[in-house]
A = this chain, B = another copy of it.
């Protein structure tokens, strides 16, 4: 693999000392850095300083240095010899539920290893609010910080072993997480984050020292923490915006990330507008909580074959079906609607459902998979309540999209690209989501699933030193809009509670 063009690793040629110029090693080095970067180095820490004289002399004045930068300040994260090529970076997607670590080579950008694990703070509470309250207790904050740092460190060990490097070979770390998780990692109390007027301890933590955070890496390693604009708009989204490239086009695009919250950014190279989170009770529990979690044997795709009047079912790893996950549920709802088995309100139509509508303990349920075909030996069914919940969620999602678009006076149909991040983006069938009116009726090619955009954004800044300034630009461009559940919002929400929508002209491609 070719060396990166804008690598953080730069070759620095230190001028030789002489009797005529007895300037100290540190000052000659700093001058050489200035001549190379065109900018002043903010500091050489005491650990690197102690090693500098031997490094300069053993490498005949030519050093490979690893830099990092925040807010126009250049930091020195490490110095390696001329011929060393073991310098790793670590990108961290710091999720409330799942944490993903990716180790990469800072010379060529190649991914060395990657591992995803459950956030160990789940032992305190699965949701962030429980953890924030726990942080108020004595030693609560310390325990939470310890849990996440220990978790990260043990995975760092694992990753390093798997590719035969040492944790001390890690020089740069970038962390994209929501505001609360970022606070907990830094050991900052998120107490005021959840209390009016919702104030973070810090918006732009910039580069921190890995050793001070307790993260297992080189003793001079720097940790760049993606900034936030407040409690509800965190570094994970900043990384996602960076990765999407939404800011590089004059055409207005949208980025949607449905994780614990639904987070939406709309914008172009001139402006960015964002909203997130508490969009009313319907989205609490959100689309990711519908059905069961994706896993082997779980139905993730369903389509209806009108000719044979049967469902084509796909399960993960092609095992006998065990249950149904969110994306399968959206497919199922779309199929039921297109076949007339549910009406525009999402209610079962008994005449169309025929023998698939059965009575379980006095409640009507729809059989997606009959007992003979299921892995459980029982019918796999969904009830009216499951459908109602899905419809509330899809209505909330559509309402949020409509509201933010109307806020800047554009129509959803004008969107140039619709980036869908996260598991939501990679799992759902866009056609089904359009059919039930969860996503707007745009050509399917407009939709672009972008996977774990936090992790990708965090990786990007390790590979391209020119990108780091863009993060501040992104942060400063964002207008954050609090979505008020006002009459306007409620009207839109009510209209979106039909399949696909009360206003059918918004969904011309959906024929039923």
Binding site for B on A (CB under 8 A): 17-19, 22-27, 42, 45-46, 49-50, 52-53, 186-189, 191-192, 196-204, 208, 212-213, 228, 230-231
Closest chain B residue, CB of each to CB of A198 = B22
B17 touches A197 (CB 8 A): yes
> Hey, which chain B residues are within 8 Å of A17, CB to CB?
197, 199
Name A204's contact: one of B18, B27, B187 (CB within 8 Å): B27
Question: B199, B228, B231: which contacts A25 (Cβ < 8 A)?
Answer: B199
Contacts of A189 in B (CB 8 A): 50, 53
Chain B residues with CB under 8 A of A26: 201-204
A46-B208, A53-B192 as given contacts; A25 in contact with B201, CB under 8 Å: yes
Q: Write 6 A-B pairs (CB below 8 A) sorted by A numbering.
A: A19-B197, A22-B200, A49-B188, A49-B201, A50-B188, A53-B192
Tell me which residues across on chain B come within 8 A of A187, comparing CB atoms.
46, 50
Cα–Cα, bound, A407→B493 (Å): 89
List chain B residues, Cβ under 8 A from A25: 192, 199-202
Q: Which residues of B contact A202 (CB under 8 A)?
A: 24-27, 49
Contacts of A42 in B (CB 8 A): 42
What residues of B have a CB within 8 angstroms of the CB of A192 in the complex?
Answer: 25, 53
Q: Say yes or no: A22 contacts B199, CB within 8 Å.
A: yes
- Shortest 4 CB-CB contacts between residues of A and residues of B: A26-B202, A24-B200, A24-B203, A19-B197
On whether A22 and B230 interact (CB within 8 A), knowing A27-B203, A49-B202, the answer reads: yes
Query: What is the bound-complex CA distance between A24 and B233, given in angstroms?
Result: 13
**In the complex, what distance in Å separates the CA atom of A17 from the CA atom of B24?**
46
Minimum C-beta distance from A63 to chain B (A): 15
Chain B neighbourhood of A204, CB < 8 A: 26-27
A53 contact from B50, B186, B191, B208, Cβ within 8 A? B191
Query: Given the complex of chains A and B, what is the CA–CA distance between A186 and B188 in angstroms?
Result: 30
Residue from the list B24, B196, B201 in contact with A24, Cβ < 8 A: B201
User: Chain B nearest CB: distance from A146 CB in Å?
Assistant: 14
* CB of A143, distance to nearest CB on chain B (Å): 15
Query: A197 contacts B22, CB within 8 Å?
Result: yes
Taking the closest CB of chain B, its distance from the CB of A278, in whole angstroms, is 15
Q: In the complex, A52 Cα to B202 Cα: how many Å? A: 10
